[in-house]
A = this chain, B = another copy of it.
Amino acid sequence: MNPKAIHNRITEMTGVDYPIFQAPMGWIARAQLASAVSNSGAMGIIETSSGEFDAIKGEVAKMHDLTDKPFGMNVALAFVKGTNVIDFVIEQGIKFVTTSSGSPNLCTRQFQEAGIKVFHVVPTLDMALKALDAGVDGLVVEGGEGGGFKNPQPVATMVLLPLIRERTEVPIIAAGGICDGATMAAAFAMGAEGVQLGTAMLSCTDSPVHPNWKNAIYQGKETDTVFLNQQGRPALRAMRTERTGELELLGQFQPFEHMANILDLYFGGDLEAAIPLTGQVMGRIHEARSAADIVTSTMTGFYQSLSRLDASYGQ
């Protein structure tokens, strides 16, 4: 039996049963993974950060074949310059977009006029307040323990999420450190109404990445990530490898030079070919599971955590 659907502002806005969002990982967040997530009752998201807009158009077409459930797209604003990505996203007829790595002033109004709800990804309170000024419908609040491109001054979810919650009214999707029902319950205790899973989805059986990378995540410890380029911008959280261990010693470097061969890592399985973006939750993920299994067990665990809290400490 499926876990009970959640009713809150985020499920109302998006039409999903479960407010669990798959992170929009470049090249990875495409139809194979996103359709499995959407079909499980959660929110699959198609990326645009690869910049491969023609391929992405094909992926969106595949989504319409593979699922009749809601799905969304991410717009990495740093890649918007000189492209027609905003029009492109609007043409897909989707109803939910996350925006990141740039000012949401650029497109929030335009998306909203097309009937799309816009959640902007923020790593600090200041950036959350700026996004609210731009009129976004909600926020993805991303703690520094998460993988990928980060603010050079990382703030943990445990601090950032309640800080932004008490200063804002819009719905919040919590990201960073979340991979199961206990962490989802913790995020909801701090005021989130949804959660985003990156590393868990990256390493699931529906993810298209090479087994070498999935296995490295299953085998890694919670201390096996590094925080890179802290004196530069953007910073990154990645798995510790020979390459990233050397980069950790540099205060500043050009990260995109070390991402050029990312496809050799993602799909060729050469972990030294580029920087493997990964969150600290790699230390909590030990086995291959389907996206549907992750969504279902996260929801089951969420309800169990709440029941346990209520039984032990309820008034």
Please list the residues of chain A having a beta carbon within 8 angstroms of any beta carbon in chain B.
4, 6, 8, 124-126, 143-145, 151, 153, 155-160, 162-163, 165-166, 176-178, 180, 182-183, 185-191, 221-223, 231, 249, 251, 279-281, 283-284, 302-303, 305-307, 309-310, 312-315
Contact = CB atoms under 8 A, between A and B. Distances in A.
Contacts of A4: 315
A145 B144 CA distance: 10
Given A163-B283, A188-B313, 20 more contacts: A4-B315, A8-B312, A124-B221, A125-B221, A125-B283, A145-B155, A153-B223, A156-B176, A156-B280, A157-B158, A158-B158, A158-B177, A159-B279, A162-B182, A182-B189, A186-B187, A188-B189, A303-B313, A307-B315, A310-B310
B309 A188 contact: yes
The winner among A8, A155, A157, A158 for most chain B CB atoms within 10 A is A158
A167 to B, nearest CB: 10
11 contacts: A124-B223, A125-B283, A153-B223, A155-B223, A156-B156, A182-B191, A183-B190, A188-B189, A189-B305, A189-B306, A306-B309
A158 B183 contact: yes
Contacts of A284: 159, 162-163, 166
Given A160-B222, A186-B190, A223-B124, A155 B306 contact: no
A310 B310 CA distance: 7
A257 to B, nearest CB: 21
Contacts of A177: 156, 158-159
B183 A6 contact: no
A6 B313 CA distance: 7
B222 A155 contact: yes
Contacts of A283: 125, 155, 159, 163
Contacts of A309: 185, 188-189, 306, 309
Given A186-B189, A313-B303, A155 B280 contact: yes
Nearest to A279: B159
A222 B163 contact: yes
A42 to B, nearest CB: 16
Nearest to A223: B153
A224 to B, nearest CB: 8
A156 B144 contact: yes
